[in-house]
Structure 1
Amino acid sequence: MSLEPYQRKFIEWAIEQNALTFGTYTLKSGRVSPYFYDAAKFNKGSAFVSIGQFYADVLKNLELNYEVVFGSAYKGIPIALSTVNALIEKYNLDIAYSFNRKEKKNHGEGGNIVGASLKGNVLIVDDVISVGTAIRECLNIVIENGGNPVGIVIALDRQERGTGEITVVQQIEQEYNLPVKTIITLDNIVQYITERGGYEEHLIMIKEYQDIYGVKK
């Protein structure tokens, strides 16, 4: 399957921004990965605008009814803000945003939610799903605060195995009965660097990683 133009554009842009890099990285899960995606590298105004447009383009093609875009602290916060900004600028869709605090406030407005209240249908945005711990925490925050999660959009699906022989993303979809849409997947990255050339050593390491942690194809 060929890469969609927006996927190729995103991969090239992420590499240019040093958000997608290749080497040896120890993840929060303890796994040693041959590549790393770091959304914190999108730390300039131009990058803020661009990342939101990629998310908004994915959302525009989804037939989902949602009132709030939620991003969890901390990396999900700028993603949520840039996404709703792109939705109004590009598609004239005026959607509320919301995010959580790491620590609950007991003064002022109080609580652990900033922005719109999590009532009604909520669309969750995040950077990446690997083993699924962070996105489950995010879903629980939405549910505990009265929201109804209707979908998730992430930049990268690492396509790592969950329970049994399905990916973590597929497992999340089944557990919560909602769609998880991505801008790119690890397979897209592999296809891109294979076609481009010059990444042969990294390709070998990625395929070895997939053999250990990915779903058998």
Structure 2
Amino acid sequence: MSSLRQQFIEFSIQSGVLRFGSFITKAGRTSPYFFNAGLFCDGASLGRLADFYAQTLLDAGVEFDMLFGPAYKGIALASATAVSLAGKGRNVPFSFNRKEAKDHGEGGNIIGAPLQGRVVIIDDVISAGTSVRESVELIRAAGATPAAVLIALDRMERAGKDGELSELSAVQEVAKLYGMPVVAIASLDDLFSFLSGQSAGGDIGQHREAVAAYRSKYGVQG
């Protein structure tokens, strides 16, 4: 696991954004861990999160002209990442959408820079891929090109219901459907590697077996 990925896992745990226990996911599964980027809710933590996003994007070598953040979590993520990128020498425009189109003032449902060129969609995770689909449709309708999706954590879970599981994860399905890369700061494999380095009896290491069992049941190969 790269130093950046390990730092991100540690940062997420310390911030209380990555938690362990028993959680019901959007897919109705009982997961031994839960990641909620909405809990990066102060200036310091959001700023550091944005630095992880920005550096991961630069390291990925993706060619891009601007950022787009799908409402609602993506709004703060894209905005903060644009600020971080500017601090790293890449000053790029960004925009985000409203859930409902505005019929007065400037109108429309896109706020910020016009969608043009190669656009990176920034979100926290991909579950069903709904926000990505909506974002791709908005970007293409404006005549721009979806270049990549940048997320915080790839859960690496097979899509679908129990008994009808896809061979692909939601992330892999998005990449295949739209023909563009999905770049993650860290993944379930990185989380498991981190847990494997912890004491089995420690506060964090004790969750390793539960995560391993969950990965064995729902996980895909990276």
Tell me whether the two structures share a fold, i.e. TM-score over 0.5: yes
1:20-60, CA deviations, whole angstroms, 9 ceiling, x for partnerless residues? 00111112222221111111111111112111110110111
> By how many angstroms is 1:216 displaced?
6.4
Separation in structure 2 between the aligned mates of residue 182 and residue 216 of structure 1, nearest angstrom: 15
> By how many angstroms is 1:174 displaced?
1.6
1:83-126, CA deviations, whole angstroms, 9 ceiling, x for partnerless residues? 1100111x211100110111111001111111011122111111
> Over the residues paired in the alignment, what is the CA RMSD in angstroms?
1.8
Separation in structure 2 between the aligned mates of residue 123 and residue 171 of structure 1, nearest angstrom: 17
Match of 1:187 in 2: 189
Q: Summarize the alignment of residues 58-137 of structure 1 with structure 2, pairs less than 5 Å apart.
A: 58-89=56-87, 91-137=88-134
Separation in structure 2 between the aligned mates of residue 175 and residue 16 of structure 1, nearest angstrom: 35
- Gaps of at least 5 residues in structure 1 are none
SS, match of residue 65 in structure 1:
coil
Match of 1:36 in 2: 34
Match of 1:214 among 206, 211, 219: 219
Match of 2:162 in 1: none
SS, match of residue 207 in structure 2:
helix
> By how many angstroms is 1:169 displaced?
1.7
SS, match of residue 212 in structure 2:
helix
Q: Which segment is superposed worse, 177-186 or 207-216?
A: 207-216
Moved beyond 6 Å, runs of 4+: none
Separation in structure 2 between the aligned mates of residue 27 and residue 140 of structure 1, nearest angstrom: 26
**Length-normalised TM-score, structure 1:** 0.91
SS, match of residue 129 in structure 1:
coil
Separation in structure 2 between the aligned mates of residue 175 and residue 64 of structure 1, nearest angstrom: 18
Whether contact under 8 Å (1:131, 1:160) holds in the other structure is no
- Gaps of at least 5 residues in structure 2 are 160-164
Amino acid at match of 1:126: D
> By how many angstroms is 1:164 displaced?
3.8
SS, match of residue 63 in structure 2:
coil
Whether contact under 8 Å (1:119, 1:147) holds in the other structure is yes
Amino acid at match of 1:143: R
1:130-152, CA deviations, whole angstroms, 9 ceiling, x for partnerless residues? 34333223323322333210111
Q: Which segment is superposed worse, 198-207 or 37-46?
A: 198-207
Query: How many residues are aligned here?
Result: 214
> By how many angstroms is 1:200 displaced?
4.9
